[in-house]
Structure 1
Amino acid sequence: MPSLLAVYAHPDDESLFSGGVLARNAAEGGRTAVVTATWAEHTHRAAELAEALRLLGVSGKPRLLGYADARVPDSAPGSPRLCDAPLDETVGRLVGHIRDFRPEIVVTHDAYGGVTGHEDHVHTHRLTVLAAQAAGLERLYPEAGAPWQPRALYLAAHPHSAVRALDGLRVTADDLWTVPDDRITTTVDVGPWLPRKWAAVSAHRSEARRGAAPGLLAGLSADVREQLLGTEWYIRQDLTSGGGGGETELRV
Protein backbone atom coordinates (compact mmCIF):
# COMPACT_ATOMS: atom_id res chain seq x y z
CA MET A 1 0.00 0.00 0.00
CA PRO A 2 1.21 3.55 -0.65
CA SER A 3 2.30 5.93 2.06
CA LEU A 4 -0.54 8.37 2.62
CA LEU A 5 -0.76 11.74 4.37
CA ALA A 6 -4.23 13.22 4.92
CA VAL A 7 -4.53 16.97 5.53
CA TYR A 8 -7.82 18.20 6.95
CA ALA A 9 -9.08 21.38 8.56
CA HIS A 10 -10.63 20.17 11.83
CA PRO A 11 -10.54 17.17 14.12
CA ASP A 12 -13.30 14.83 12.81
CA ASP A 13 -12.84 15.75 9.12
CA GLU A 14 -10.30 12.93 8.72
CA SER A 15 -12.84 10.35 9.95
CA LEU A 16 -15.90 11.72 8.17
CA PHE A 17 -14.30 12.26 4.76
CA SER A 18 -11.54 9.63 4.61
CA GLY A 19 -11.91 7.31 7.59
CA GLY A 20 -12.39 4.23 5.44
CA VAL A 21 -9.38 4.89 3.22
CA LEU A 22 -7.20 5.71 6.23
CA ALA A 23 -8.24 2.55 8.08
CA ARG A 24 -7.68 0.36 5.03
CA ASN A 25 -4.32 1.87 4.18
CA ALA A 26 -3.05 1.49 7.74
CA ALA A 27 -4.37 -2.07 8.12
CA GLU A 28 -2.75 -3.19 4.88
CA GLY A 29 0.66 -1.88 5.90
CA GLY A 30 0.79 1.51 4.24
CA ARG A 31 2.42 4.26 6.28
CA THR A 32 -0.44 6.60 7.19
CA ALA A 33 -0.58 9.95 8.96
CA VAL A 34 -2.91 12.92 9.42
CA VAL A 35 -2.21 16.66 9.61
CA THR A 36 -4.97 18.78 11.16
CA ALA A 37 -4.83 22.51 10.47
CA THR A 38 -6.78 23.84 13.46
CA TRP A 39 -7.01 23.32 17.22
CA ALA A 40 -4.03 23.29 19.55
CA GLU A 41 -2.43 20.46 21.45
CA HIS A 42 -3.80 19.86 24.96
CA THR A 43 -7.35 20.82 23.89
CA HIS A 44 -10.24 18.38 24.20
CA ARG A 45 -10.61 18.07 20.45
CA ALA A 46 -6.94 17.23 20.01
CA ALA A 47 -7.43 14.40 22.50
CA GLU A 48 -10.47 13.18 20.57
CA LEU A 49 -8.45 13.30 17.36
CA ALA A 50 -5.75 11.13 18.92
CA GLU A 51 -8.38 8.58 19.93
CA ALA A 52 -9.97 8.62 16.46
CA LEU A 53 -6.61 7.98 14.79
CA ARG A 54 -5.90 5.11 17.17
CA LEU A 55 -9.23 3.53 16.24
CA LEU A 56 -8.41 3.93 12.55
CA GLY A 57 -5.07 2.22 13.10
CA VAL A 58 -3.04 5.33 12.29
CA SER A 59 0.14 5.22 14.36
CA GLY A 60 1.96 8.22 15.76
CA LYS A 61 0.72 11.40 17.36
CA PRO A 62 -1.63 13.77 15.53
CA ARG A 63 0.20 16.43 13.55
CA LEU A 64 -1.44 19.74 14.48
CA LEU A 65 -0.64 23.03 12.75
CA GLY A 66 -2.27 24.70 15.76
CA TYR A 67 -4.25 27.53 14.14
CA ALA A 68 -7.62 28.62 15.45
CA ASP A 69 -10.88 27.36 14.00
CA ALA A 70 -12.58 30.22 12.15
CA ARG A 71 -15.68 29.82 14.32
CA VAL A 72 -14.04 28.88 17.64
CA PRO A 73 -11.35 31.44 18.55
CA ASP A 74 -10.38 29.70 21.79
CA SER A 75 -9.51 26.52 19.89
CA ALA A 76 -5.91 27.76 19.73
CA PRO A 77 -5.29 30.50 22.32
CA GLY A 78 -2.71 33.01 21.16
CA SER A 79 -2.72 31.79 17.56
CA PRO A 80 -4.45 33.41 14.58
CA ARG A 81 -7.40 31.88 12.80
CA LEU A 82 -6.25 29.59 10.01
CA CYS A 83 -7.82 31.84 7.38
CA ASP A 84 -6.04 34.90 8.82
CA ALA A 85 -2.54 33.43 9.11
CA PRO A 86 -0.01 34.38 6.40
CA LEU A 87 -0.38 31.91 3.53
CA ASP A 88 3.37 31.58 3.06
CA GLU A 89 3.73 30.62 6.71
CA THR A 90 1.00 27.98 6.66
CA VAL A 91 2.21 26.47 3.38
CA GLY A 92 5.77 26.34 4.72
CA ARG A 93 4.69 24.53 7.86
CA LEU A 94 2.75 21.97 5.85
CA VAL A 95 5.69 21.51 3.48
CA GLY A 96 7.71 20.57 6.56
CA HIS A 97 5.24 17.79 7.42
CA ILE A 98 5.20 16.51 3.82
CA ARG A 99 8.99 16.40 3.66
CA ASP A 100 9.20 14.77 7.07
CA PHE A 101 6.63 12.04 6.37
CA ARG A 102 7.46 11.62 2.63
CA PRO A 103 4.04 10.38 1.44
CA GLU A 104 3.36 9.03 -2.04
CA ILE A 105 -0.26 10.24 -1.77
CA VAL A 106 -1.71 13.36 -0.14
CA VAL A 107 -5.46 13.52 0.62
CA THR A 108 -7.38 16.71 1.45
CA HIS A 109 -10.62 18.62 0.94
CA ASP A 110 -11.80 19.48 -2.57
CA ALA A 111 -12.03 23.09 -3.77
CA TYR A 112 -15.50 23.42 -2.26
CA GLY A 113 -14.24 22.22 1.10
CA GLY A 114 -16.51 19.19 0.92
CA VAL A 115 -20.27 19.22 1.28
CA THR A 116 -20.33 21.94 3.96
CA GLY A 117 -18.33 24.61 2.15
CA HIS A 118 -16.74 25.59 5.51
CA GLU A 119 -14.18 28.37 5.10
CA ASP A 120 -11.51 26.42 6.98
CA HIS A 121 -12.03 23.46 4.65
CA VAL A 122 -11.68 25.65 1.57
CA HIS A 123 -8.53 27.29 2.91
CA THR A 124 -7.01 23.93 3.85
CA HIS A 125 -7.58 22.78 0.27
CA ARG A 126 -5.73 25.82 -1.05
CA LEU A 127 -2.72 25.52 1.23
CA THR A 128 -2.46 21.75 0.66
CA VAL A 129 -2.47 22.09 -3.13
CA LEU A 130 0.31 24.66 -2.86
CA ALA A 131 2.32 22.68 -0.31
CA ALA A 132 2.10 19.39 -2.23
CA GLN A 133 3.74 21.07 -5.21
CA ALA A 134 6.21 23.19 -3.24
CA ALA A 135 7.45 20.20 -1.24
CA GLY A 136 9.22 18.84 -4.32
CA LEU A 137 11.07 22.05 -5.17
CA GLU A 138 14.41 22.37 -3.40
CA ARG A 139 14.57 26.16 -3.61
CA LEU A 140 11.23 26.63 -1.87
CA TYR A 141 11.22 26.43 1.93
CA PRO A 142 14.77 25.02 2.22
CA GLU A 143 14.47 25.27 6.01
CA ALA A 144 11.64 22.69 5.89
CA GLY A 145 13.91 19.78 4.97
CA ALA A 146 15.03 17.89 1.90
CA PRO A 147 12.60 18.07 -1.04
CA TRP A 148 10.03 15.35 -1.49
CA GLN A 149 7.44 15.15 -4.26
CA PRO A 150 4.21 13.22 -3.60
CA ARG A 151 3.00 11.43 -6.69
CA ALA A 152 -0.70 12.25 -6.43
CA LEU A 153 -3.17 14.49 -4.64
CA TYR A 154 -6.65 13.14 -3.91
CA LEU A 155 -9.41 15.64 -3.15
CA ALA A 156 -12.29 14.30 -1.04
CA ALA A 157 -15.57 15.29 -2.69
CA HIS A 158 -19.24 14.35 -2.98
CA PRO A 159 -20.87 13.95 -6.41
CA HIS A 160 -24.28 15.40 -7.23
CA SER A 161 -25.67 11.85 -7.27
CA ALA A 162 -24.90 11.49 -3.56
CA VAL A 163 -27.43 14.17 -2.59
CA ARG A 164 -30.27 11.67 -2.14
CA ALA A 165 -28.22 9.68 0.38
CA LEU A 166 -27.49 12.87 2.26
CA ASP A 167 -31.21 13.46 2.80
CA GLY A 168 -30.79 11.60 6.06
CA LEU A 169 -28.88 14.58 7.46
CA ARG A 170 -31.93 16.80 7.03
CA VAL A 171 -30.29 19.14 4.54
CA THR A 172 -31.38 20.27 1.09
CA ALA A 173 -29.45 20.31 -2.17
CA ASP A 174 -29.09 24.08 -1.79
CA ASP A 175 -27.16 23.52 1.47
CA LEU A 176 -24.62 21.18 -0.13
CA TRP A 177 -21.46 21.76 -2.11
CA THR A 178 -21.30 18.78 -4.47
CA VAL A 179 -19.47 18.32 -7.77
CA PRO A 180 -20.60 16.95 -11.15
CA ASP A 181 -20.34 13.18 -11.19
CA ASP A 182 -17.91 13.22 -14.10
CA ARG A 183 -15.36 15.10 -11.97
CA ILE A 184 -15.03 12.09 -9.66
CA THR A 185 -12.06 9.91 -10.64
CA THR A 186 -12.01 7.52 -7.68
CA THR A 187 -14.94 5.84 -5.94
CA VAL A 188 -13.94 3.70 -2.96
CA ASP A 189 -16.23 1.17 -1.31
CA VAL A 190 -15.18 1.38 2.34
CA GLY A 191 -17.93 -0.88 3.64
CA PRO A 192 -15.45 -3.42 5.05
CA TRP A 193 -13.87 -0.62 7.07
CA LEU A 194 -17.09 1.03 8.16
CA PRO A 195 -17.00 -0.24 11.79
CA ARG A 196 -13.61 1.39 12.29
CA LYS A 197 -14.68 4.52 10.47
CA TRP A 198 -17.84 4.87 12.56
CA ALA A 199 -15.92 4.23 15.79
CA ALA A 200 -13.50 7.01 14.81
CA VAL A 201 -16.32 9.43 13.97
CA SER A 202 -17.93 8.61 17.32
CA ALA A 203 -14.67 9.38 19.14
CA HIS A 204 -15.31 13.06 18.39
CA ARG A 205 -17.71 13.18 21.32
CA SER A 206 -17.79 16.95 21.78
CA GLU A 207 -18.97 17.38 18.19
CA ALA A 208 -21.67 14.79 18.75
CA ARG A 209 -22.86 16.59 21.89
CA ARG A 210 -23.21 19.91 20.10
CA GLY A 211 -25.21 18.38 17.27
CA ALA A 212 -22.58 18.58 14.53
CA ALA A 213 -22.16 15.82 11.93
CA PRO A 214 -21.12 13.05 14.38
CA GLY A 215 -24.23 13.80 16.44
CA LEU A 216 -26.54 13.91 13.43
CA LEU A 217 -25.15 10.61 12.18
CA ALA A 218 -25.57 9.00 15.59
CA GLY A 219 -29.30 9.69 15.39
CA LEU A 220 -29.69 7.69 12.18
CA SER A 221 -30.21 3.99 11.72
CA ALA A 222 -27.19 1.81 10.99
CA ASP A 223 -28.48 1.20 7.46
CA VAL A 224 -28.71 4.91 6.69
CA ARG A 225 -25.28 5.53 8.20
CA GLU A 226 -23.86 2.82 5.97
CA GLN A 227 -25.43 4.50 2.95
CA LEU A 228 -23.89 7.82 3.95
CA LEU A 229 -20.46 6.65 5.04
CA GLY A 230 -19.84 3.44 3.10
CA THR A 231 -18.50 5.15 -0.02
CA GLU A 232 -15.74 7.76 -0.32
CA TRP A 233 -15.23 9.81 -3.46
CA TYR A 234 -12.10 11.57 -4.66
CA ILE A 235 -10.79 13.72 -7.47
CA ARG A 236 -7.25 12.69 -8.40
CA GLN A 237 -4.67 15.27 -9.42
CA ASP A 238 -1.35 13.89 -10.58
CA LEU A 239 1.74 15.66 -9.31
CA THR A 240 4.17 13.62 -11.40
CA SER A 241 3.17 11.41 -14.36
CA GLY A 242 -0.39 11.01 -15.58
CA GLY A 243 -3.16 8.80 -14.17
CA GLY A 244 -6.59 7.80 -15.30
CA GLY A 245 -10.21 7.64 -14.26
CA GLY A 246 -12.59 5.01 -12.95
CA GLU A 247 -10.41 4.03 -10.00
CA THR A 248 -11.78 2.07 -7.07
CA GLU A 249 -8.83 2.71 -4.74
CA LEU A 250 -6.15 5.31 -4.16
CA ARG A 251 -2.96 4.44 -6.02
CA VAL A 252 0.38 5.96 -6.91
Structure 2
Amino acid sequence: MVKKSLLLALNLLMMTSLLGGCTPAKTEETIQSNKNTIEKEKLNEEVLQGNSVEHETENEPAANSMEQNDEESHAENQGEEDAVRQEKTVEGYVLDVEGNTITVDLENPEGRNYSEEGLDHGVKFDITNAEKEVIPTSGYSEDRECRIKTGITVLITYYEENGKNIVTKISTDNDEKEIIVYVSSGEIEEITDKTMKIHVREGDYSGESLVFDTTETSIPEEASVNSTVTVTYYLKENTYYALSFIFDDL
Protein backbone atom coordinates (compact mmCIF):
# COMPACT_ATOMS: atom_id res chain seq x y z
CA MET A 1 0.00 0.00 0.00
CA VAL A 2 2.85 2.34 0.88
CA LYS A 3 4.65 1.31 -2.25
CA LYS A 4 1.59 2.10 -4.38
CA SER A 5 1.17 5.56 -2.77
CA LEU A 6 4.82 6.29 -3.34
CA LEU A 7 4.48 5.35 -6.97
CA LEU A 8 1.49 7.64 -7.45
CA ALA A 9 3.36 10.52 -5.83
CA LEU A 10 6.34 9.93 -8.08
CA ASN A 11 4.15 9.94 -11.22
CA LEU A 12 2.47 13.18 -10.09
CA LEU A 13 5.87 14.79 -9.55
CA MET A 14 7.02 13.75 -13.01
CA MET A 15 3.86 15.14 -14.66
CA THR A 16 4.32 18.44 -12.82
CA SER A 17 7.92 18.64 -13.97
CA LEU A 18 6.95 17.93 -17.56
CA LEU A 19 4.20 20.54 -17.53
CA GLY A 20 6.51 23.10 -15.92
CA GLY A 21 9.20 22.43 -18.55
CA CYS A 22 6.87 22.96 -21.51
CA THR A 23 5.57 26.37 -20.40
CA PRO A 24 8.84 28.37 -20.97
CA ALA A 25 9.32 26.79 -24.42
CA LYS A 26 5.83 27.84 -25.46
CA THR A 27 6.40 31.37 -24.09
CA GLU A 28 9.65 31.79 -26.09
CA GLU A 29 7.95 30.60 -29.26
CA THR A 30 5.17 33.14 -28.76
CA ILE A 31 7.63 35.98 -28.10
CA GLN A 32 9.71 35.07 -31.16
CA SER A 33 6.54 34.96 -33.25
CA ASN A 34 5.51 38.38 -31.97
CA LYS A 35 8.99 39.74 -32.75
CA ASN A 36 8.80 38.38 -36.29
CA THR A 37 5.37 39.97 -36.75
CA ILE A 38 6.58 43.36 -35.47
CA GLU A 39 9.68 43.25 -37.67
CA LYS A 40 7.57 42.30 -40.69
CA GLU A 41 5.17 45.17 -40.02
CA LYS A 42 8.11 47.59 -39.69
CA LEU A 43 9.58 46.29 -42.93
CA ASN A 44 6.25 46.72 -44.74
CA GLU A 45 5.92 50.24 -43.31
CA GLU A 46 9.46 51.14 -44.49
CA VAL A 47 8.70 49.76 -47.95
CA LEU A 48 5.50 51.80 -48.13
CA GLN A 49 7.31 54.93 -46.95
CA GLY A 50 10.09 54.32 -49.47
CA ASN A 51 7.59 53.95 -52.33
CA SER A 52 5.84 57.14 -51.24
CA VAL A 53 9.10 59.12 -51.13
CA GLU A 54 10.19 57.68 -54.47
CA HIS A 55 6.79 58.56 -56.00
CA GLU A 56 7.03 62.12 -54.71
CA THR A 57 10.62 62.40 -55.98
CA GLU A 58 9.56 61.18 -59.41
CA ASN A 59 6.63 63.63 -59.56
CA GLU A 60 8.65 66.63 -58.34
CA PRO A 61 10.72 67.09 -61.55
CA ALA A 62 7.56 66.75 -63.62
CA ALA A 63 5.83 69.41 -61.55
CA ASN A 64 8.89 71.66 -61.75
CA SER A 65 9.06 71.05 -65.49
CA MET A 66 5.41 72.06 -65.92
CA GLU A 67 5.98 75.23 -63.89
CA GLN A 68 9.09 76.03 -65.92
CA ASN A 69 7.23 75.44 -69.19
CA ASP A 70 4.42 77.74 -68.02
CA GLU A 71 6.96 80.45 -67.14
CA GLU A 72 8.76 80.05 -70.47
CA SER A 73 5.45 80.11 -72.36
CA HIS A 74 4.39 83.27 -70.53
CA ALA A 75 7.75 84.91 -71.20
CA GLU A 76 7.55 83.89 -74.85
CA ASN A 77 4.02 85.26 -75.22
CA GLN A 78 5.05 88.46 -73.48
CA GLY A 79 8.03 88.77 -75.78
CA GLU A 80 5.84 88.26 -78.84
CA GLU A 81 3.37 90.84 -77.57
CA ASP A 82 6.17 93.33 -76.96
CA ALA A 83 7.51 92.65 -80.45
CA VAL A 84 4.06 93.17 -81.93
CA ARG A 85 3.57 96.40 -79.97
CA GLN A 86 6.99 97.80 -80.86
CA GLU A 87 6.39 101.12 -82.59
CA LYS A 88 8.17 102.34 -85.70
CA THR A 89 8.21 105.73 -87.40
CA VAL A 90 8.27 106.15 -91.19
CA GLU A 91 7.73 108.91 -93.73
CA GLY A 92 5.82 108.47 -96.95
CA TYR A 93 3.65 109.88 -99.71
CA VAL A 94 -0.10 109.21 -99.53
CA LEU A 95 -1.18 107.38 -102.68
CA ASP A 96 -4.77 106.70 -101.71
CA VAL A 97 -7.29 107.27 -98.91
CA GLU A 98 -10.25 104.93 -98.38
CA GLY A 99 -12.16 105.44 -95.13
CA ASN A 100 -9.70 104.96 -92.27
CA THR A 101 -7.18 103.13 -94.44
CA ILE A 102 -4.44 104.95 -96.30
CA THR A 103 -1.94 103.60 -98.84
CA VAL A 104 1.53 105.10 -98.60
CA ASP A 105 4.65 105.07 -100.76
CA LEU A 106 7.52 104.64 -98.29
CA GLU A 107 10.26 104.71 -100.95
CA ASN A 108 9.65 108.28 -102.13
CA PRO A 109 7.94 110.56 -99.60
CA GLU A 110 8.04 113.61 -101.91
CA GLY A 111 6.26 114.62 -105.12
CA ARG A 112 5.75 112.19 -107.96
CA ASN A 113 8.18 111.82 -110.80
CA TYR A 114 5.24 110.40 -112.78
CA SER A 115 1.56 109.92 -111.98
CA GLU A 116 1.65 106.16 -111.27
CA GLU A 117 4.81 106.19 -109.18
CA GLY A 118 4.59 104.02 -106.05
CA LEU A 119 1.31 102.29 -106.89
CA ASP A 120 3.05 98.93 -107.26
CA HIS A 121 4.57 98.98 -103.75
CA GLY A 122 2.15 101.00 -101.62
CA VAL A 123 1.77 99.99 -97.94
CA LYS A 124 -1.60 100.13 -96.14
CA PHE A 125 -2.05 101.73 -92.70
CA ASP A 126 -5.07 101.87 -90.37
CA ILE A 127 -5.52 105.40 -88.96
CA THR A 128 -8.84 104.75 -87.13
CA ASN A 129 -7.53 105.74 -83.69
CA ALA A 130 -4.51 107.75 -84.75
CA GLU A 131 -3.62 111.07 -83.16
CA LYS A 132 -3.52 113.66 -85.98
CA GLU A 133 -1.04 116.53 -85.93
CA VAL A 134 -0.39 119.45 -88.27
CA ILE A 135 3.30 120.29 -88.84
CA PRO A 136 3.82 124.09 -88.67
CA THR A 137 4.83 125.76 -91.97
CA SER A 138 4.79 129.33 -93.30
CA GLY A 139 1.29 130.74 -92.84
CA TYR A 140 0.56 128.15 -90.17
CA SER A 141 -2.33 128.79 -87.80
CA GLU A 142 -3.12 126.76 -84.70
CA ASP A 143 -6.66 125.97 -85.78
CA ARG A 144 -5.56 124.31 -89.03
CA GLU A 145 -7.19 120.94 -89.52
CA CYS A 146 -5.06 117.88 -90.23
CA ARG A 147 -6.34 116.72 -93.61
CA ILE A 148 -5.20 113.25 -94.64
CA LYS A 149 -5.57 113.15 -98.43
CA THR A 150 -3.87 111.88 -101.55
CA GLY A 151 -0.74 113.77 -102.59
CA ILE A 152 0.61 114.80 -99.17
CA THR A 153 3.68 113.68 -97.24
CA VAL A 154 2.99 112.14 -93.83
CA LEU A 155 5.07 111.11 -90.82
CA ILE A 156 3.61 107.92 -89.33
CA THR A 157 4.18 106.21 -85.96
CA TYR A 158 2.67 102.72 -85.93
CA TYR A 159 2.89 99.13 -84.69
CA GLU A 160 2.02 95.82 -86.31
CA GLU A 161 -0.86 93.69 -85.01
CA ASN A 162 -2.47 90.65 -86.68
CA GLY A 163 -0.86 91.55 -89.99
CA LYS A 164 -2.11 95.17 -89.90
CA ASN A 165 -0.21 98.42 -89.51
CA ILE A 166 -1.99 100.30 -86.71
CA VAL A 167 -1.13 104.02 -86.65
CA THR A 168 -0.89 105.75 -83.26
CA LYS A 169 0.14 109.16 -84.60
CA ILE A 170 0.19 110.79 -88.06
CA SER A 171 1.62 114.20 -88.88
CA THR A 172 1.55 116.32 -92.06
CA ASP A 173 1.98 119.90 -93.25
CA ASN A 174 -1.11 119.50 -95.49
CA ASP A 175 0.98 120.51 -98.53
CA GLU A 176 -0.15 118.57 -101.58
CA LYS A 177 2.80 117.56 -103.76
CA GLU A 178 2.62 117.82 -107.55
CA ILE A 179 4.34 115.70 -110.16
CA ILE A 180 7.98 116.74 -110.42
CA VAL A 181 8.74 118.25 -113.83
CA TYR A 182 12.25 118.97 -115.07
CA VAL A 183 13.41 121.55 -117.62
CA SER A 184 16.67 121.36 -119.56
CA SER A 185 18.14 123.18 -122.57
CA GLY A 186 20.85 122.09 -125.02
CA GLU A 187 21.81 120.95 -128.50
CA ILE A 188 20.24 117.98 -130.28
CA GLU A 189 22.78 115.24 -130.91
CA GLU A 190 20.51 112.61 -132.42
CA ILE A 191 16.86 112.16 -133.49
CA THR A 192 14.96 108.88 -134.12
CA ASP A 193 11.29 108.03 -134.51
CA LYS A 194 10.83 107.65 -130.74
CA THR A 195 13.80 109.36 -129.11
CA MET A 196 15.84 112.53 -129.07
CA LYS A 197 19.33 112.79 -127.64
CA ILE A 198 20.24 116.20 -126.21
CA HIS A 199 23.49 117.48 -124.72
CA VAL A 200 22.24 119.62 -121.80
CA ARG A 201 23.86 123.04 -121.38
CA GLU A 202 21.44 124.62 -118.89
CA GLY A 203 18.90 123.49 -116.30
CA ASP A 204 18.54 120.05 -114.72
CA TYR A 205 21.30 117.53 -115.46
CA SER A 206 23.52 120.24 -116.97
CA GLY A 207 26.62 118.81 -118.65
CA GLU A 208 25.03 115.42 -119.39
CA SER A 209 23.76 113.92 -122.61
CA LEU A 210 20.21 112.61 -122.08
CA VAL A 211 18.04 110.46 -124.32
CA PHE A 212 14.36 111.50 -124.18
CA ASP A 213 11.39 109.29 -124.96
CA THR A 214 9.16 111.31 -127.34
CA THR A 215 6.09 109.06 -127.38
CA GLU A 216 4.05 111.53 -125.30
CA THR A 217 4.70 114.60 -127.48
CA SER A 218 5.40 115.59 -131.08
CA ILE A 219 8.60 116.86 -132.72
CA PRO A 220 8.47 119.55 -135.43
CA GLU A 221 9.63 118.22 -138.77
CA GLU A 222 12.13 121.08 -139.05
CA ALA A 223 13.99 119.94 -135.92
CA SER A 224 17.51 118.78 -136.73
CA VAL A 225 20.82 117.81 -135.19
CA ASN A 226 22.68 120.77 -133.58
CA SER A 227 19.41 122.67 -133.12
CA THR A 228 19.04 124.33 -129.70
CA VAL A 229 15.97 123.10 -127.78
CA THR A 230 14.37 123.44 -124.36
CA VAL A 231 12.64 120.25 -123.19
CA THR A 232 10.15 119.77 -120.33
CA TYR A 233 10.06 116.19 -119.04
CA TYR A 234 9.55 113.80 -116.12
CA LEU A 235 11.54 110.82 -114.96
CA LYS A 236 10.08 107.33 -114.71
CA GLU A 237 12.13 104.24 -113.97
CA ASN A 238 15.31 105.83 -115.33
CA THR A 239 13.59 106.93 -118.54
CA TYR A 240 13.19 110.62 -119.43
CA TYR A 241 9.72 111.21 -120.90
CA ALA A 242 9.50 114.46 -122.88
CA LEU A 243 6.32 116.52 -122.39
CA SER A 244 7.12 119.41 -124.72
CA PHE A 245 9.87 120.91 -126.90
CA ILE A 246 10.60 124.57 -127.57
CA PHE A 247 13.14 125.27 -130.36
CA ASP A 248 15.00 128.56 -130.05
CA ASP A 249 16.02 128.78 -133.73
CA LEU A 250 12.77 127.76 -135.45
TM-score normalized by the length of structure 1: 0.19
| Larger RCO of the pair (alpha carbons < 8 Å, separation 6+) | 1
Structure of greater Rg: 2
User: Which structure has greater strand proportion?
Assistant: 2
User: Which structure has greater helix proportion?
Assistant: 1
TM-score normalized by the length of structure 2: 0.19
